[in-house]
Amino acid sequence: MDSLYQLVRQPSNVVIVTHKNPDGDALGSSLALAAVLSKLRHTVKVVLPNDFPPLFNFLPGIDNAIIGEMNPAEAVEAFEKADIIFCLDFNSLDRIDRFGLDVASADRATKILIDHHIDPEPFADHIISNTSASSTAELVYDFLVDMKLETYIDIPIAEAIYTGILMDTGSFRYGTNERVFEVAAALKRLGMDDYLLQIRLFNSMTEKQLKLLGHCLANRMELISEYQTGIIWLDRVDYKNWAIGRGDTEGIVNYVLMVRNMKMAVFISEQQNVTKLSFRSKGNINVQEICSQYFNGGGHRNASGGMMKASVKDTLAKVKEIIPLTMNSYQLQHDQ
Ligand code: 5GP
Ligand code: MN
């Protein structure tokens, strides 16, 4: 921390990179840190491997982020020039696709990982990893406090941090700890309008998104009550018929867990080249293990993701094969 304290006070070229398909925590934590470091006269570039959902358009500085998929040369140049690379909200370099190679080969840069996912790979010079943290945004707030930089947090920065916290805790419903409520209080004390953020983030669906949710629940959901697991799937035809875009399926997986006694939820979506899986669970059911063992993925105990190079049909079959194996190793109980 002492060496980082010196480092952040010396204006330099900083790159902040976060994971592919960036979510509210990836974006909020990255943009908050970028805004503070810009105030310290660093030249800061935020690199997103691919585009972000329009829901997050309001975050400070998001328009200046380099979208790697669209401007790869600009992203590569940023990594080459970097004196410091912050890696936020991911635990292994394959989470940033081809830019993992650029981070790995950026020998002159000091690499700092700030993350809350299980099993961080040791690719950084400094690793701030806390799997008990609600979000990377919470860890960025604490990092700013440790660096004695919290006075630089203005209202847009507070909103970015709070966005990360809200999205990763589902509005303080899961993944919470004592500290995250203290951080929220500190942000509110600064004058951040938390009610406005709730409306922006959770009451801002498009009509299409709400109807797509209806389609998923009415036509694409299968509950296997014996194993207290539910699955929702969308295939390529759904993607075409509904013109599904980035962010349109965000959060749909969580609805399965609203059903009494459901312990695990799986959302399967057929993308261009791969089929993506999202897992959610309640209590001690460990979906991180399932995703790392079977689906080349990972994340957190109760929220993980992965992928399979197979059709939706084959992926569904694989999931159904795994469910009994996994769920039988738990003493399943009904909700109280
Ligand atoms: P989501 O289901 O919302 O895409 O992701 C849930 C959690 O799992 C997030 O923390 C996310 O970073 C992680 N995650 C999602 N997909 C992958 C993946 O393909 N690989 C790994 N390692 N983690 C993932
Ligand atoms: Mn996160």
**What 3-state DSSP class applies to 292?**
helix
H or E element that contains 281: strand 275-281
Ligand 1 neighbourhood includes 297 CB (under 6 angstroms): yes
Q: Which ligand has the shortest distance to the CA of 305? A: 1
Ramachandran quadrant class, 309 (left: phi over 0; alpha: psi -120 to 50; beta: rest): beta
146 and 255 fall within a common domain? no
H or E element that contains 313: helix 312-327
Query: What is the number of residues in the chain?
Result: 336
Ligand 1 neighbourhood includes 307 CB (under 6 angstroms): yes
Q: Which ligand has the shortest distance to the CA of 25? A: 2
Range of the domain at 142: 2-202
- Run means of pLDDT, 10 residues per run, the chain, 336 residues: 94 98 98 98 98 97 98 98 98 97 97 97 97 98 98 98 98 96 98 97 96 98 97 97 95 97 97 95 96 96 97 97 95 85
H or E element that contains 67: strand 66-67
Is residue 336 in some structural domain?
Answer: no
235 and 110 fall within a common domain? no
As a whole number of angstroms, the distance between CA 268 and CA 232 comes to 6
Ligand 1 neighbourhood includes 304 CB (under 6 angstroms): yes
Split into its structural domains, the chain has a count of 2
Ligand 1 neighbourhood includes 308 CB (under 6 angstroms): no
44 and 186 fall within a common domain? yes
Ligand 1 neighbourhood includes 278 CB (under 6 angstroms): yes
pLDDT of residue 168: 97
Q: Compute, in angstroms, the gap from residue 241 CA to the centroid of ligand 2.
A: 31
The number of beta carbons lying within 10 Å of the beta carbon of residue 167 is: 23
H or E element that contains 214: helix 207-219
As a whole number of angstroms, the distance between CA 280 and CA 266 comes to 7
Cβ atoms of 140 and 113 within 8 Å: the answer is no
Sign, CA dihedral 183-201-197-88, equals positive
As a whole number of angstroms, the distance between CA 34 and CA 267 comes to 32
> What do you get for the CA distance between the two ends of the chain, in Å?
45
Question: Which residue's alpha carbon is nearest to atom 7 within ligand 1?
Answer: 304
32 and 157 fall within a common domain? yes
Chain centroid to Cα 32, Å, comes to: 15
Here the contacts of 96-104 (C-beta below 8 Å, separation 24 or greater) are 96/17, 96/18, 96/19, 96/20, 96/49, 97/20, 97/49, 97/50, 97/68, 98/49, 98/68, 98/72, 99/17, 99/47, 99/49, 99/68, 99/75, 102/75, 102/76, 103/17, 103/79
pLDDT of residue 331: 87
133 and 218 fall within a common domain? no
Is residue 170 in some structural domain?
Answer: yes
pLDDT of residue 332: 87
Ligand 1 neighbourhood includes 19 CB (under 6 angstroms): yes
197 and 211 fall within a common domain? no
| Burial class of residue 88 (count of CB atoms within 10 Å of its CB; 0-12, 13-18, 19+) | buried
67 and 168 fall within a common domain? yes
At 35, list the tokens.
């805004």
Q: How far is CA 232 from CA 51, 183, 221, in A?
A: 24, 35, 4
223 and 171 fall within a common domain? no
Return the CATH number at 300: 3.10.310.30
As a whole number of angstroms, the distance between CA 311 and CA 302 comes to 25
Pocket perturbation via mutation, ligand 1, pick of 304, 307, 309, 319 by most ligand atoms within 8 A of CB: 304
Ligand 1 neighbourhood includes 120 CB (under 6 angstroms): no
Is residue 334 in some structural domain?
Answer: no
